[in-house]
Amino acid sequence: MAERLQARLAPEEIDKLIRGLARRGYQVLGPTVRDGAIVYDEVAGAQDLPRGWTDEQEAGRYRLKPGTDGALFGCSVGPESWKKYLHPAQVKLFEADRQDGLFRILGGPAPPARPYAFLGVRACELAAIAVQDRVLLQDKYRDPVYGSRRDPAFLVAVQCTQAAATCFCASMGTGPQVRGAADLTLTEIVNAEGHWFLAEADGDRGQEVLAELDRRPATDEELRLARTAVESAAAQQVRRMDTAGIRDLLYQNFEHPRWDEVAARCLTCANCTMVCPTCFCTTVEDDSGVTGDRAERWRRWDSCFTMAFSYIHGGSVRTSSKARYRQWLTHKLASWIDQFGSSGCVGCGRCIAWCPAGIDLTEEVHAIRGAVNHGNTDA
């Protein structure tokens, strides 16, 4: 691996970066504004990015609002995560046809036409991709759908320099400083002296792309400014998760009055599992044509909050909302450690913002711990 390259870029270079990645054959995907939220979609140039927007998040609340600094990446994470592309919400597993009672499989899932380049991957999202890598690629079986999307993907990380009120990555050890393996890492700085980016690349792939941009070596002062900006995002975080002994805490509190209390608020709507960047559960559905000689099998996201999820002959195993919320939280924070060697939570806060009832998992864990609960912050 080459020596780390650290360069200062003018903001205009982001447009060239997008076009350069597209020229290399990537489908470039990044944050865009749609329907009042940040939505990941194809970006043709910097004009598609949410320039000048920022967001406001709280438990059960998400709003975009105009920012004051004209930053390209001034918004925190929105409702979508990159699992939208790597672990699609619906994918055709195969098609088959049948004649005289005999069927044959006509083909498996197709990889994307172009490899993906993700622009604007936050530290928590890199951590989430690493968590899904472990689940879907590095377990006993390898998921070819995820693998064909993940393996060639080019990742452009963007450091967070401001935190949403729902963020708690610092306490999960996943951010805000980018720790995962990105091809290129950007830090966007807007200050009295202007608007610029620090670009850092460790590997050959990122350095090749960076070499095509107008740049100059970053000064020590610029590196310091960039580092301080990321540190301020950590300092801004008002939520935190106390992870000490959390696996045993939840295992030992399978029966706890808090589960009944949260179940009285939980709508079992499954929003938290849809927005979670690590939730990986799926179901399968069969589509058959009206003639009965052709069939398709589809895989779709599923959620442990539905009754059907645990259905076996005779009934569902987890019928109460209490059992379903407990399964989700205990899996995410405790049994995930047994299964895959890490927490399933990266501290992105999406499940807090997008819960229609404003349920905050940091608060739930805090309550189960038996600590005095004064609302959202326990810092």
Which of residues 96, 223, 230, 263 is near another protein by CB under 8 A? 96
Nearer to another protein among residue 23 and residue 94 (C-beta): 94
Question: Judged by CB under 8 A, does residue 290 bind another protein?
Answer: no
**Does residue 341 touch another protein according to CB under 8 A?**
no
Binding another protein by CB under 8 A: which of 1, 65, 68, 140?
A: 140
108 is an interface residue for another protein by CB under 8 A: yes
- Per CB under 8 A, 302 contacts another protein: yes
90 part of the interface to another protein, by CB under 8 A? no
Cβ proximity to another protein, 283 vs 373, nearer residue: 283
Answer for which of 3, 65, 221, 313 binds another protein (CB under 8 A) is: 313
* Site membership for another protein, residue 288 (CB under 8 A): yes
Tell whether residue 240 is a contact of another protein (CB under 8 A): no
Q: Is 70 in the site for another protein (CB under 8 A)?
A: no
310 counts as binding another protein under rule CB under 8 A: yes
Residue with tokens 């927005």: 275
Of positions 36, 44, 103, 371, contacts another protein by CB under 8 A? 103
Q: Which of 269, 297, 357, 358 binds another protein (CB under 8 A)?
A: 297
**Interaction of residue 339 with another protein, rule CB under 8 A:** yes
Q: Where along the sequence are the contacts to another protein (CB under 8 A)?
A: 93-94, 96, 98, 101-105, 108-109, 135-144, 147, 254, 280-284, 286-288, 292, 294-295, 297, 299, 302, 304, 309-313, 317-320, 322-323, 326-327, 331, 335, 338-339
